[in-house]
Copies of this chain bind each other. A is one copy, B any other.
Amino acid sequence: VEPFKTYLNLIENELAQLELNKQPHELYEPIRYILSLGGKRIRPVLTLTACEAFGGNPLNAKYAALAIEVFHNFTLMHDDIMDKAPLRRNKPTVHTKWNETIAILSGDTMFVYSQLLMLKSPDKHIKTLLELFNKTAIEVCEGQQLDMNFEQQQQVSIPSYINMIALKTAVLLATSLKIGAIIADADTNNCNLIYEYGKNLGIAFQLQDDILDVYGNPDKFGKQVGGDIISNKKTFLLLKALELAKINPYKLSELQNWLQVSTKHAKEKVEAITEIYNFLGIKEIAENEMKKYLNKALQSLDSTSLNTNYKELFKSFAHSLMLRQT
């Protein structure tokens, strides 16, 4: 979305200017590295845009926006250790390029640093902002723990899956927007509505991610298509397939057999499970679920007192997220 470009540039500039060229360099170099890997910077851009949209001066939200981006990258650094991920945005992860110890401690330092950035927000909002920011940070940790728990659990219900992605992904998007609104002195009702917009959009975003992993265009999709299938990741698609296959014992055992197949037969596994998804109509069901949350988001947006231009802006942003290929 075009109007976001200015804010994206502002964030990139500010990130590059953070005073992170410090000693001991073992601690700060990985922080500069992960922040330099790029990314869509969706969260800080949303903070600045929400602040502007609710009539505030976006520059007042600059440090809060940076705090959120630094916090987000801290969670990536620690999640990558826990998930044993070798790559992040096609570059070696911090614990791969350096080691786990460095990734733990640099991550901790980033988290402290995000608090210091948030503290540079306008005085009158500091307590509210930090309470919201840290409440959200706890939720993100809970979401990551639930995600890891699900790997070990036999049964995961769709509502608990939605709750997990809400905590792990959606609440931080929601908080990014609400923080912008708070700094703009928006009233409580507007703050809560823009939070709901962000939260439902975040859930829709993650569902779209699950869909793209299987049905994304391999040329455009950044990751390996079928990665979730290969690793038996309990996505919405797999959970729904396991639920629907229950009434068809033959399909259920076929699906369960493929889940036992080792990664040596990755290509066949992806093809076979995709076939089962197609047979059960999983793609449409997942798209409908995604649209349900997208519509919830747009309803909340519509209930805000934002003017039409900004409603349209956030609406097209939502649609652009859902139409993305990566």
Contacts and interface: CB of A to CB of B under 8 A. Distances in A.
Nearest to A74: B108
A134 B115 contact: yes
Interface string A114-128: 011001000100110
Given A27-B145, A101-B82, A105-B78, A138 B116 contact: yes
A2 interface: no
Interface in A126-173: 126-127, 130-131, 134-135, 137-138, 141-142, 144-146, 148-149
A144 B112 CA distance: 14
Given A26-B149, A116-B131, A116-B134, A82 B104 contact: yes
A148 B78 contact: no
B105 A82 contact: yes
Contact of A141 (B100, B112, B119): B112
Contact of A145 (B26, B113, B144, B149): B26
Nearest to A116: B134
26 contacts: A23-B142, A24-B145, A26-B148, A27-B145, A78-B104, A81-B101, A82-B105, A100-B100, A105-B144, A108-B141, A109-B141, A109-B142, A111-B111, A111-B112, A112-B134, A112-B137, A112-B138, A112-B141, A113-B138, A115-B115, A116-B134, A119-B127, A119-B131, A123-B127, A126-B127, A126-B130
Give 5 closest A-B pairs by Cβ, nearest first: A112-B137, A27-B145, A109-B141, A82-B101, A115-B134
